[in-house]
Amino acid sequence: MIDLRSDTVTKPSEAMRAAMAHAEVGDDVYGEDPTVNRLQDMVAAMFGKRAALFVPSGTMGNQLAIRLHTQPGQEVIVESTAHIVRYEQGAAGALAGVQLHWVTGTRGLISPEQVEAAIRPKELHTVQTGLICLENTHNSGGGSIYPLATIERIRAVAATHGMPMHLDGARLFNAAVATTLPPASYAQHFDTLSVCLSKGLGAPAGSLLMMNDLALLDKAKRLRRMYGGAMRQSGVLAAAGIYALEHNLGRLKDDHDHAKRLAQRLQMIPTVRINAQDVETNIVIFDVIGHRLAPPAIVAALKQKGVLINALGGASFRAVTHMDVSSAMIDEACEIFTHVLGIEPLTH
Ligand code: TLP
């Protein structure tokens, strides 16, 4: 089976498992797990931040950040298709007591002018803005990359209003590899950012929430405990993360090349709507129009031929490339897409 549902489906390699098995561990709630500490120091240094906190998931990283920066009743500016909006089960409202102010972007990216317009005036009747969140790369935007210049300008707007910024950097490594910019060049513009080890890097679990402010780190540790994310001998997981950072970063470029190739082939199928030029990293989002099968049946037909993808709602589908999908498997997937999506289009 060629599983393109997500880059989260990768399984730890033998070498990664060996690193996990031999990890030196301790109780991380006491701050005594040497492998967790090593991973945190390594990632903080990589992103030019003073501190990184190991958390179980990207969702927890985002939700800790929202809670850290806001007061209940405030508003968080976020793009309307962001992971925080679509896929975190309303956690910002449920756990931090804030409402989300959606701004509709282009392929998930919003402009400094839109941010400026969304910040509420500081007057008594109006809800108050507490935080601005960006996502890079943008998942629902098709793995789109924020131009650094746009981030710099959004940061300038935020600074004028004294507004903190958080980055959902679940796939920031993909952006860094695709642009060849150092990860810290993005990170410098955010008060907090989270990155995931369980996406393209192939680790089984784990994310890091980073910041410069050590008072914020203390608060984040308490909240992590409150949210049930304080783990014990988590060095077993951290070891997988260290292995992933040491071995699997550079190869993200292969995933990007595979995604581009897939998109170019999909573009040739008459029922498929996609602009292959838009594919910058490892996520391929496309629409299927005028096919005789409804989206769930398309997913089932592809599965039957050996390819798994996700339907996103409406006519949209998502295919994600990752380290467990080889170049040959991409070629095979292209044939299957052409076969299943290319046949019997509806004629009006
Ligand atoms: N994304 C998953 C699903 O939840 C949709 C995927 O398959 O892409 N931020 C972004 C941008 C993400 O894409 C994800 C996971 C997360 C945060 C959350 O990470 P986890 O799953 O570790 O909580």
Are residues 333 and 241 part of one domain? no
CATH number at residue 263: 3.90.1150.10
Question: Does 180 fall in a domain?
Answer: yes
Q: Residues 10, 323: contact at Cβ < 8 Å?
A: yes
Q: Residues 16, 244: contact at Cβ < 8 Å?
A: yes
Kindly report, residue by residue over 104-149, the tens digit of the pLDDT: 999 999 999 999 999 999 999 999 999 999 999 999 999 999 999 9
State residue 204's pLDDT score: 98
* Domain boundary residue, one of 247, 276, 305: 247
State residue 347's pLDDT score: 54
State residue 340's pLDDT score: 96
The label of the residue with tokens 């680790």 reads 203
Kindly report, residue by residue over 283-329, the tens digit of the pLDDT: 999 999 999 999 999 999 999 999 999 999 999 999 999 999 999 99
Are residues 204 and 147 part of one domain? yes
**Best residue for ligand 1 mutational test, from 3, 8, 55 (most atoms within 8 Å of Cβ):** 8
State residue 344's pLDDT score: 57
**CA-CA distance, 180 to 175, in Å (whole number)?**
8
Q: Which residues contact 90 (CB under 8 A, 6 or more apart)?
A: none
State in Å: Cα 244 to ligand 1 middle.
Answer: 18
DSSP-assigned beta bridge partners for residue 43: none
Kindly report, residue by residue over 60-74, the tens digit of the pLDDT: 999 999 999 999 999
**Best residue for ligand 1 mutational test, from 7, 10, 87, 255 (most atoms within 8 Å of Cβ):** 87
Are residues 183 and 269 part of one domain? no
**Best residue for ligand 1 mutational test, from 138, 139, 320 (most atoms within 8 Å of Cβ):** 139
State residue 298's pLDDT score: 97
**For range 237-251, the mean pLDDT:** 97
State in Å: Cα 329 to ligand 1 middle.
Answer: 24
Nearest CA to ligand 1 atom 4: 87
**CA-CA distance, 315 to 10, in Å (whole number)?**
26
State in Å: Cα 319 to ligand 1 middle.
Answer: 14
Are residues 164 and 38 part of one domain? yes
Question: Does 105 fall in a domain?
Answer: yes
Phi-psi region of 173 (alpha: psi -120 to 50; beta: other; left: phi over 0): alpha
Rg for the chain (alpha carbons), in Å?
Answer: 21
Supply the mean pLDDT for the chain: 97
State residue 274's pLDDT score: 98
Are residues 226 and 111 part of one domain? yes
State residue 48's pLDDT score: 98
Question: Does 90 fall in a domain?
Answer: yes
Are residues 261 and 176 part of one domain? no
3-state secondary structure of 329: helix
Question: Does 199 fall in a domain?
Answer: yes
> Does residue 183 surpass a pLDDT of 60?
yes
Percent share of the chain, pLDDT over 70 = 98
State residue 52's pLDDT score: 98
State residue 343's pLDDT score: 66
> What is the domain extent for residue 103?
12-247
State in Å: Cα 58 to ligand 1 middle.
Answer: 6
State residue 82's pLDDT score: 98
State in Å: Cα 337 to ligand 1 middle.
Answer: 25
State residue 346's pLDDT score: 53
* Domain boundary residue, one of 228, 247, 266: 247
* Domain boundary residue, one of 219, 247, 275: 247
Distances (CA, A) of 250 to 127, 168, 178, 256: 44, 21, 10, 11
Per the structure, the count of domains in the chain is: 2
State in Å: Cα 182 to ligand 1 middle.
Answer: 23
Are residues 278 and 192 part of one domain? no
What type of residue is 58? G
Are residues 238 and 282 part of one domain? no
Closest CA relative to residue 141, chosen from 196, 80, 65, 87: 80
Are residues 65 and 183 part of one domain? yes
State residue 50's pLDDT score: 98
Q: Which residue ranges have their beta carbon within 6 Å of ligand 1? A: 6, 8, 57-59, 83, 87, 135, 139, 168, 170, 196, 198, 207
> Does residue 251 surpass a pLDDT of 90?
yes
Question: Does 104 fall in a domain?
Answer: yes
CATH number at residue 71: 3.40.640.10
Are residues 47 and 75 part of one domain? yes
Question: Does 2 fall in a domain?
Answer: no
Percent share of the chain, pLDDT over 90 = 98
Atom in ligand 1 nearest the alpha carbon of residue 207? 22
Kindly report, residue by residue over 186-197, the tens digit of the pLDDT: 999 999 999 999
Are residues 282 and 161 part of one domain? no
State in Å: Cα 84 to ligand 1 middle.
Answer: 9
State residue 97's pLDDT score: 98
Question: Does 63 fall in a domain?
Answer: yes
Kindly report, residue by residue over 19-30, the tens digit of the pLDDT: 999 999 999 999
Question: Does 1 fall in a domain?
Answer: no
Are residues 285 and 206 part of one domain? no
State residue 121's pLDDT score: 97
